[in-house]
Amino acid sequence: MAQAAAALNDNDERATGADTNPGQLSDEHFVSIPETTLPDGTVVPAFKYGRYPASKGVDGAVAHSISAKPWVRIKFADAVAACDAAGLQLARETQELAVRHLICQQPENWSGGEVGVGHVFQGLHRGTVSGAQAADYVSPNADERSYHVLPGGERVYGVAGNIFTYAFDDVQGAPSGFVAGRVREDSISLTTAPFPAYEKGMGHRTDGDVNWSGGALIRGGFWGGGDYAGVFRLGYTAPVDASGVVGFRCTKPQ
């Protein structure tokens, strides 16, 4: 996270959101993810995934709006609590893996228009902005497209670039959602990506067998992360941190 810390700008990173009401939590703000089998055979049950990272409503609760900046400067446990209070849950690591696996299978998400040709779009990552942007922000750089297409044509925003989002670790995690012990080289957190780190828009990830015990997983990258950002970018942060480059995304049952 040292790379990200130097890029913070208090003027434009804080979330601004729509007022929270039942409509903010309705299905229009979520995309349906079908039951998905990961490459190792792990089956991820169907669920609904926030179309964009959560925003902070004027009442201080979770809100969803394509035109609101994401809620950043929030600790991991507080992100979990914010989702819970809204009747939602913080996105699980297996759910994130399912979404990213599906993204890589759609030709629309590849710069070359075919799966495996060019790179998967990496979102805002070139430093063209100085803070987190709303999902509907359009970069002047065509290769900083903010959305990815899922099966059936639904769009999801902010999976790569713009901000990191927390993942509740249900792969090697404790009940709290923190990493418990080591992330091993054969963990699906690492092996689900179809290409090596830094190749084809995957972003950075560890080589594995690292001790991240007690840390909170973060995915995606941030607006100034360069090729570190990507759909399979994986890192971690201290759960007591409340960084301006880290937000969160909510899910709910199908």
pLDDT digits (tens, 9 = 90+) for 97-144: 999 999 999 999 999 999 999 999 999 999 999 999 999 999 999 999
Q: Spelled out in words, what is the top-level CATH class assigned to the domain 2-20+29-253? A: alpha beta
Contacts of 14 (CB under 8 A, 6+ apart): 69, 72, 73, 244
Measured CA to CA, the distance from residue 205 to residue 14 in angstroms comes to: 27
> pLDDT for 172-212, tens place per residue?
999 999 999 999 999 999 999 999 999 999 999 998 899 99
Compare 10 and 239 and report the one with higher pLDDT: 239
Per this entry, what is the length of the chain?
254
User: To the nearest whole number, what is the mean pLDDT of the chain?
Assistant: 91
* Phi and psi torsions of 85, nearest 5°: -65, -25
**Its pTM surpasses 0.95:** no
3-state secondary structure of 201: coil
Number of H helices, E strands in the chain: 4, 16
CB contact at 8 A, 63 and 226? no
